[in-house]
Amino acid sequence: MVIFGDYHTHTRYSGGRYNVKHATGTILENAMSAKEKGLKQIAITEHGFSHKLYGVKRKNIDRMRKEIDDAKQKTGVDILLGIEANIISSEGDVDLTSEDIKKLDFIIVGFHNFAKAKNLKEFFKFRLPNMLNLKREKDIKRNTLALMKAMDKYPIDLISHPGSHMSLDFETIGKHAVNTNTHLELNGKRICYSKNDVKKLVQMGVMFMANSDAHSAIRVGEVNKGINFAIKYDIPQKNIANLEKFPYLKNLKRN
Ligand SMILES: [Zn+2]
Ligand SMILES: [Zn+2]
C-alpha cells in the first residue's frame, strides 16, 4: 500500500491568539518530512479561526500561501493550503466566510471543544453537550443534522475524526457524505466507528482518508493507525482515497 498524500497536518500557525505551542513544525519542515517518506502531496490544515487556543490567525493565510509556494519549489512535494474548520452551531455553521473559502484548496470540518460557539444560544444547545461528550438520542440527532447541513452549505472535502466529542448517526452521515463527495477520516489519533458502522459505511460506498493529524513534522505521513484499523475491519483499499493515487478533491481546481 502506497500512501499518496497526508491531508491533515498542522504547523506552528496553529498557535491561536496566545501563541500557544500547539504544533511544532513549519510548512517547509512538514514538506521535507513528507518528501523523506515518499509522499506526493500534503495539506497544511491549521485549526480554524474560532478555536480560542490553537486557531490560525486570518492575517496569516496569505503569508502561508507564500511559504507553501516556496516549500513546493524546494521539496517537489505538492502542498495544499487547507484548514480544519470548526463546526460552531446546530445549524451547521462553520467558522469560514466565502472570502476565506476562495483562498483555500482543501477544507476539513471537525468539532473541537475549544472552538467558540456561534452565539450564546448555540453554546448551550450545541457546544456544551458536546464538550460533555453526551450521547443521548437527542444529541446524536442534533449533531447528525448539524453536520449534514454543514455538508450542504460548504464545500467540505473531509470530516476530521468523526464522532469524537460529537456523537453521530454514522449511517445517516455516511449516506450524506457519499452524496456530497465528502471524505470521512481515519484519523491518526482518534477513530470512533464501531465494526458495525464500518460495515455499513463500506457498503454504501463511503470514501475514507487515512491521515496523520500530525502536530510535528516527524509525524507527517504517519497514518498507521488508520491503515491498521482498515485492515482489522476490512475496509477495502478502493474505499481509502489517499492510497495509490491523488484523491478527488472538490476545492482543488486543477483536479
Ligand atoms: Zn481535530
Ligand atoms: Zn487536526
How many Å lie between the centroid of ligand 2 and the Cα of residue 212? 9
Q: Is the pTM of this model over 0.85?
A: yes
Please indicate, yes or no, if residue 245 is contained in any of the structural domains: no
Q: Considering the domain boundaries, does residue 244 fall inside one?
A: no
CATH of the domain at 155: 3.20.20.140
Look up residue 245 and give its three cell numbers.
493515487
CA of 137 to the centre of ligand 1 (A): 24
Q: What is the pLDDT along the chain (255 residues), one digit of tens a residue?
A: 789 999 999 999 997 556 667 888 999 999 999 999 999 999 999 999 999 889 999 999 999 999 999 999 999 999 999 999 999 999 999 999 999 999 999 999 999 999 999 999 999 999 999 999 999 999 999 999 999 999 999 999 999 999 999 999 999 999 999 999 999 999 999 999 999 999 999 999 999 999 999 999 999 999 999 999 999 999 999 999 999 889 999 888 654
Supply the pLDDT for residue 195: 97
Decide: 214 and 30 in contact? Cβ < 8 Å: yes
Ligand 1 centre distance from Cα of residue 242 (Å): 18
Cβ atoms 143, 167 nearer than 8 A: yes
Distance 224 CA to ligand 2 centre (A): 16
Q: What is the largest CA-CA distance in the chain?
A: 51
State which residues form the domain around 40. Answer: 5-239
Q: What pLDDT shows up at residue 15?
A: 75
Ligand 1 center to 84 CA (angstroms): 7
Q: Is residue 255 part of a domain?
A: no
Residue 5: all three cell numbers together: 498524500
Q: Distance from the CA of 111 to the center of ligand 2, in angstroms? A: 10
**Ligand 1: distance of its center to the CA of 110 in Å?**
6
Q: Pseudo-torsion of CA 112, 238, 78, 103, nearest 10°?
A: -50
Q: Which ligand is nearest to the CA of 83?
A: 2
Compute, in angstroms, the gap from residue 61 CA to the centroid of ligand 1: 19
pLDDT number for residue 18: 62
For residue 244, count other CB atoms closer than 10 A to its CB: 12
DSSP 8-state symbol, 197: H
Structurally, how many domains does the chain consist of? Answer: 1
Give the number of the ligand closest to the Cα of residue 87: 1
Note whether residue 246 is domain-resident.
no
Measured in whole angstroms, the distance separating CA 227 from the mean position of its chain's CA atoms is 17
Q: Which ligand is nearest to the CA of 165?
A: 1
- Residue 249 covered by a domain: no
- Domain assignment present for 173: yes
Task: Tell me the residues surrounding ligand 2 (ion) with CB < 5 Å.
Answer: 84, 213
Nearest ligand (C-alpha, residue 161): 1
Task: State the distance from the centre of ligand 2 to the C-alpha of 152, rounded, in angstroms.
Answer: 22
pLDDT score of 255: 43
